[in-house]
Amino acid sequence: MLKPAILISLCLLFVVCSPWLVGEAFPITFSTNEDYDIVMYGTPEGLKEVEEDFKLVKELGLSRLRVSFSWINYQPEPGQFSNLDWLHQFVDLAQEYNITLMPYLCYTPYWAAKTGQWNDPPKNYDDWYNYVYKMASEFRDEIYYWEIWNEEDSKQWFSGTKEEFAKLVNVGSEAIRKANPEAKVILGGLTWGEQKDDFVEYIIENCPGAIDIVAVHCYAESWNPSYLEDSWRPGWSEFDSIARILENKAEGQPIWVNEIGYPTVNGRTEQDQASYIRRAVSTILASEKVSLISWYEIKDLEQDNPIGVIGDYFNYHLGLTDSKRNKKLGFYTYQNIIALLNEKELDYLETVSYQAREEDQNSYSSLRIYVHPFQRVDDKHIILFAWLYGPAEEVFIDIELPGIINSISEYSFKGEESSYNNFNQSQMKNVQLVRDKPRLFEIILNDNYTE
């Protein structure tokens, strides 16, 4: 399948694509994450704090939230379940706000753990079955998505072997399906590493019929030193190999990116985070393989929170707001994208051609320019992301669109809309691209245009 070029060189300065050439439409849903440990939230006052987060979820324009249902929190001692009254109140509150919860089940209490550690596999898989069955049956009428573990392909999060994790999946999936045959089972989100493909293949081969959705996490440019742009090029993305495994060896299950984040710390600004959100969303969507994207997380963590975090200080600064819920710029950037794309069917248009102005072409042997256009199936509006990766700091390009332009709106990182009037017929003229600062346009073509 053709894709718009991202590398412009002296020998390829103009990219020509067939008008109205599109791939298959694909759905996209957005979500966010927040964890609610009983130590911090398991009181009536804690539930009020939860409600403030739920208000932010709705203000973002979302109806889905990924959370943890920690085995440690709800069965801290053998033979008894704890804190379920609070958890029912939590789930009921989510329903009041029309929020679909997507819990991940994870982390072993000391009494059940193989070596007494929270990231161990269980000593007795019957204990795991009983916990998963209890959760899925307790909330049979409220929760229909259950994720098994979290980042299990990293020893930091799961100390066992692949064989032990496959057993965890098979037993957990059996418990979920027994408790609620209508529920979907999600493979715990995998880390953004080369090993994830092999891990998916192993689980698919050894857990037949157990998984309905495969989840991946993306922290490129945070813990992972790779750049987002390196995860996509024409005809290839980080998700293609997983998709092939699922198509060839399973049932073509959906792929979710159910954690993606970027910390505002260590010299990384709110502007950097907002830029990352646009770059990440458009790059992931350009793969045409992902049907859910979920930002981690709603708010920063308090530095003095009683349970701390696993990992380094980046974990405290991934929120769309600070710890007091003061909104960062990225909150508005994500909110704007949600308003434009959430719960839409999209076509990735193979239709865009663009040309850098002559002086920019002559100054650089290569320019890495990204233009990702998505057409909403329902109203045919084109949502177009464009930016410069390098090596220049600034270029100007003309963008050719697949029809006569009626109007163009541009959105600031804060989601403010303005008119973009520098166009003629089917061409956006002299579009300025500044390095690592993606621009976002909504384009309406003339309905009367015919090829």
pLDDT given at position 306: 61
In a domain, 387, yes or no: yes
| CATH number of domain containing 424 | 2.60.40
Assess whether pLDDT exceeds 60 at residue 13. no
* Phi and psi, residue 391, nearest 5°: -80, -10
Give pLDDT tens digits for 39-61: 999 999 999 999 999 999 999 99
9: helix, strand or coil: strand
Paired sense of beta strands 213-218 and 184-190, if any: parallel
Q: Of 346, 364, 388, which residue constitutes the final position of a domain?
A: 346
Q: Which of 113-122, 142-151, 344-353 has the lowest average pLDDT?
A: 344-353
Per-residue pLDDT band at 23 (split at 50, 70, 90)? low
Give pLDDT tens digits for 56-87: 999 999 999 999 999 999 999 998 999 999 99
The mean pLDDT value for 366-380 works out to 95
pLDDT given at position 20: 36
pLDDT given at position 57: 98
Q: In what order do the strands lie in the sheet with 353-356?
A: 353-356, 394-400, 427-434, 423-424
Assess whether pLDDT exceeds 60 at residue 245. yes
In a domain, 451, yes or no: no
pLDDT given at position 311: 65
Paired sense of beta strands 290-296 and 255-260, if any: parallel
Q: Are residues 329 and 359 in the same domain?
A: no
Q: Are residues 300 and 353 in the same domain?
A: no
pLDDT above 70 covers a percentage of the chain that reads: 92
pLDDT given at position 120: 98
pLDDT given at position 374: 97
Q: Are residues 90 and 174 in the same domain?
A: yes
Q: Token digits for 358?
A: 């002559």
Q: Are residues 328 and 416 in the same domain?
A: no
pLDDT given at position 24: 85
Give pLDDT tens digits for 311-354: 677 888 999 999 999 999 999 999 999 999 999 999 999 888 99
Q: Are residues 307 and 357 in the same domain?
A: no
Q: Token digits for 373?
A: 């256009």
Per-residue pLDDT band at 309 (split at 50, 70, 90)? low
Q: Are residues 133 and 181 in the same domain?
A: yes
Give pLDDT tens digits for 397-443: 999 999 999 999 999 999 999 999 999 999 999 999 999 999 999 99
DSSP states along 131-152: HHHHHHHHTTTT--EEEE-SST
pLDDT given at position 448: 56
Which residue bears the tokens 């799961």?
158
Q: Of 331, 346, 361, which residue constitutes the final position of a domain?
A: 346
Assess whether pLDDT exceeds 50 at residue 10. no
pLDDT given at position 304: 73
In a domain, 237, yes or no: yes
Q: Are residues 224 and 113 in the same domain?
A: yes
| All residues at 6 or more sequence positions from 137 whose CB lies less than 8 Å from its CB, including other chains | 179, 180
Number of domains in the chain: 2
Q: Are residues 330 and 356 in the same domain?
A: no
Q: How far is CA 341 from the centre of its chain?
A: 13
Q: Are residues 230 and 279 in the same domain?
A: yes
In a domain, 1, yes or no: no
Q: Are residues 358 and 320 in the same domain?
A: no
pLDDT above 90 covers a percentage of the chain that reads: 81
In a domain, 75, yes or no: yes
Assess whether pLDDT exceeds 90 at residue 192. no
| CATH number of domain containing 272 | 3.20.20.80
In a domain, 175, yes or no: yes
Assess whether pLDDT exceeds 70 at residue 223. yes
Instruction: Tell me the pLDDT of the chain averaged across its residues.
Output: 91
pLDDT given at position 313: 76
Q: How far apart are CA 398 and CA 429, in angstroms?
A: 5
In a domain, 2, yes or no: no
Residue 360's domain comprises 7-22+349-445
Q: Are residues 333 and 247 in the same domain?
A: yes
Q: How far apart are CA 168 and CA 347, in angstroms?
A: 37
Q: How far apart are CA 78 and CA 298, in angstroms?
A: 33
Assess whether pLDDT exceeds 70 at residue 17. no
In a domain, 450, yes or no: no
Which residue would you say has higher pLDDT here, 293 or 14?
293
Could you give the angle at which helices 44-60 and 329-341 cross, rounded to 10 degrees?
A: 60
Q: Of 292, 315, 346, which residue constitutes the final position of a domain?
A: 346
Q: Are residues 334 and 427 in the same domain?
A: no
pLDDT given at position 307: 65
